[in-house]
Amino acid sequence: MAVARGLPRLFDLAESEIRLMGDLQAAYEQDPPDEAAMARIAAEFVGNEALVVRKIENYLNVDLHLGMIADSYAARARELRELSAIAERNRDRLRARLLAAMKAMQRDTLVTPSGSVSIRSNPPHVDVLEEMLIPSEFKHTVVTTTIDKRSILESVKQTGLVPPGVEVVRGERLSIA
């Protein structure tokens, strides 16, 4: 059994449990059953179970720690997004003030040692003021088809029939309480 940091690996503990169950069954099936071997195996089960509990405790502690780290990173990411949005708004305001000042001075270009600033025309774009007044030749109808998985599942629960083209699957997850 491989040992890392004083405790066996969880898979090694599982293999030990499987081996112990086989040994216990073999001792029980002897005629007469080998009581001494069964007692030794039972003691090994208890020891293996104690190691499993300690190993799972370590897993739970690491899981808790990683969850706290993930929460901290998510909170920091929110803060950074907010700070980024503030910086972008400040940058937009600064550029708007610079544009207004250049227009007031009737200057299209300013050159400084740090760089140059110039007023340029943007490409044309369309602002829709009243959608109902736009001729139909400029309108496009977009049809979106979505699958209502929830209603399919409800139908399967009620009728027991699975519609063609789908499969009802039940996955597994680990629950830590």
Q: Which parts of the chain have pLDDT scores under 50? A: 1, 3-4
Helix (H) or strand (E) holding 117: strand 115-118
- What's the pLDDT score for residue 3? 45
Indicate the domain borders of the chain: 3-116
d(CA 31, CA 24): 14
Per-residue confidence (pLDDT) for residue 5, from 0 to 100: 60
- Position 4 scores a pLDDT of 47
Which position has the token pair 């025309």?
A: 121
- CA torsion angle 120 113 93 100 (round to 10): -50
Cβ-Cβ contacts under 8 Å for 123 (sequence gap 6 or more)? none
Terminal-residue alpha carbon distance, the chain = 29
pLDDT in tens, 60-82: 999 999 999 999 999 999 999 99
